[in-house]
Amino acid sequence: MSRGFDGFGSAYFDGDRPVGEEVSLHLANHNLQIGLDDGNTLFWPVKDIRLLPDLAGKKGYVLRLTTDPLARLYLTDRSLMTFLPTPRGKIPARGRRRLLAWAVAAVAAVALQIAVLVPLLADRLAAFIPPSGERALGAATLDQIRRVLDDTGLDPLSYCENPAGVAALTRMTNALNQGKDRLENLSVHVLDHPMANGFALPGGYVVLFRGLIDQAESPDQIAAVLAHEMGHVWTRDPTRHALRSAGSIGVLGLVFGDFAGGAAVLFLTERLISARYSQQAETDADTFGYTRLGAANVSPAVMGDMFDLLRDTAGDTNQLLAHFLSHPTLSQRIDAARAAVDASRSYTPILDDTSWAALQKICD
**Closer residue to other proteins (CB): 72 or 171:** 72
For residue 295, report the phi and psi dihedrals to the nearest 5 degrees.
Answer: -65, -30
**Closer residue to other proteins (CB): 53 or 328:** 53
Determine the interface stretch with other proteins among 38-46, 216-224, 257-265, 284-292 (rule: CB under 8 A): 257-265
Least distance in angstroms from the C-beta of 318 to other proteins: 5
Q: Would strands 68-75 and 11-13 be described as parallel, antiparallel, or unpaired?
A: antiparallel
- Binding other proteins (rule: CB under 8 A), the pick from 6, 13, 167, 287 is 13
Is 8 a binding residue for other proteins by CB under 8 A? The answer is no
Per-residue x/- mask for other proteins, residues 305 to 344, rule CB under 8 A?
------------xxx-------------------------
**Closer residue to other proteins (CB): 131 or 179:** 131
- Binding other proteins (rule: CB under 8 A), the pick from 172, 191, 206, 243 is 243
Is 128 a binding residue for other proteins by CB under 8 A? The answer is yes
Residues 68, 87: Cα–Cα separation, whole Å: 15
Please count the residues of this chain forming the interface with other proteins, following the rule CB under 8 A: 73
Q: What is the DSSP letter of 84?
A: -
∠ CA 60-14-68 to the nearest 5 degrees? 90
**Closer residue to other proteins (CB): 132 or 279:** 132
Q: What is the sign, positive or negative, of the torsion defined by CA atoms of 110, 113, 114, 116? A: positive
Is 81 a binding residue for other proteins by CB under 8 A? The answer is no
Residues 143, 156: Cα–Cα separation, whole Å: 7
Measured CA distances, 145 to 13, 130, 142, 210 (Å) = 63, 23, 5, 15
Determine the interface stretch with other proteins among 53-61, 224-232, 326-334, 337-345 (rule: CB under 8 A): 53-61
Give the neighbor-by-neighbor strand order of the sheet with 11-13. Answer: 11-13, 68-75, 61-65, 49-51
Least distance in angstroms from the C-beta of 334 to other proteins: 24
